[in-house]
Amino acid sequence: MKRLTPKLTDLAIAITAVILGAGSTVATAIEPCGDFGECKALIEINSSDGDIGFHFLMDGDDLNSARIHDPDGNKVFEDQAKGPLKEQKLTETFAESAEPLCWDSPDAEEDDEIVTLEEFLDRWTAGTYVFTGSGDEGEKSEGETELTYELPAAPTDLGFDDSIVTWSAGSDLGNCASYAELAAMVAEDALPVHPVDVAVDSWEIVLEPDLDDGDPLGKLKFSVRVAGDAETLAVSVPAEFLANFEDDTPGKFEVGALGGEDNATFTEEFICINEVEGCEDD
């Protein structure tokens, strides 16, 4: 297990200021979408594992069915309520596609699908995605949202020291695409902008233990978002959260860069929570 132990004691005051100052700019507000309370379509990349997926969310009222069409008019999703669910109605629907590897990982299984970034973008057209729904009396709901190819660069230089998480803005998409590969895609008009130039609207930090299935402590999770333009890229994990775990509890944390109409790129690291003697290597 990789251990990250940068010396960060001088950052405590600055970290507090970042968290308190970020409250008014964290991207948590609901975005109206026509007749829907909210609808989104986005691309999510895990730069560490090297996988990529399509995610969507719709939030409507009293729906019996819901559909999504891509910019080319192709239906990419349909949901139909039946039985007691039809009586109860649909409201919020969130789903994510399978997340195939975007690189030839040495840990890949023989039958694992490899979908490169270029192939993924060919599959999911950028542009306006139309969300529609219908109710009992045939009433229709409709909304639109944009899917873009503006992919924020993967956070880098992740660090964890006792209770402080730090990171830096990156310049590529990790295992999904290098800086040079992305530059070539921009030159070929396969990407509208290099990820290093995509503004980060907010950073999402999630820390959790890495425990066996069935351990109730494995469900505990610390999660927070801070402003993308924060001067100090660091947050402090509350002592009350860390106190739930024994010394040398294996864990992991991830930092996500959110931008480009909610597209997200995450980087993760394994850590040792409440480290005293150290966690065993995986």
DSSP codes of every residue in 24-68: TT-S-----BTTBSEEEEEEEEETTTTEEEEEEEEEEEEESEEEE
- Judged against a pLDDT cut of 50, whether residue 23 lies above it is answered with no
In this predicted model, which residue has the larger pLDDT, 235 or 4? 235
Dihedral angle sign, alpha carbons of residues 88, 35, 122, 114: negative
Return the closest-CA partner of residue 49 out of 167, 153, 175: 175
94 strand-pairing partners: 57
Range in 24-28, 65-69, 169-173, 210-214 the model is least confident about: 24-28
Is it the case that residue 10 has pLDDT exceeding 70? Answer: no
CATH 2.60.40.10 intervals, the chain: 9-29+150-273, 38-42+51-117+125-147
| 19 has pLDDT over 90 | no
CA separation for the pair 120, 98 (Å, rounded)? 12
pLDDT band of residue 30 (cuts 50, 70, 90) is low
User: What is the separation of C-alpha 106 from the centre of its chain, rounded to a whole number of angstroms?
Assistant: 24
CATH code for the structural domain at 38-42+51-117+125-147? 2.60.40.10
**Over residues 101-105, mean pLDDT:** 93
Residue 155's contacts (CB-CB under 8 Å, 6 or more residues apart) are 167, 168, 169, 170, 203, 255, 256, 257, 265, 266, 267
Give the pLDDT of residue 280.
80
Mean of all residue pLDDT scores within the chain: 88
Q: What pLDDT, on the 0 to 100 scale, is given for residue 221?
A: 96
Residue 281 confidence (pLDDT): 67
The angle at the Cα of 38, spanning 32 to 39, to the nearest 5 degrees, equals 120
**Rounded distance, CA 82 to CA 165, Å?**
46
Query: In DSSP terms, which residues pair with 93 in a beta bridge?
Result: 58
Residue 110's pLDDT band (boundaries 50, 70, 90)?
Answer: confident
pLDDT of 117 strictly over 60? yes
Given the candidates 2.60.40.10, 2.40.30.260, 3.40.50.850, 3.50.30.10, the CATH classification of the domain at 9-29+150-273 is: 2.60.40.10
Whether the full predicted model's pTM is greater than 0.75, yes or no, is yes
Q: Is the pLDDT of residue 251 over 60?
A: yes
Mean pLDDT, residues 252-280: 95
SS3 call for 220: coil
Measure the CA–CA gap between 14 and 22, rounded to whole angstroms.
12
Burial (CB count <10 Å: 0-12, 13-18, 19+), residue 272: buried
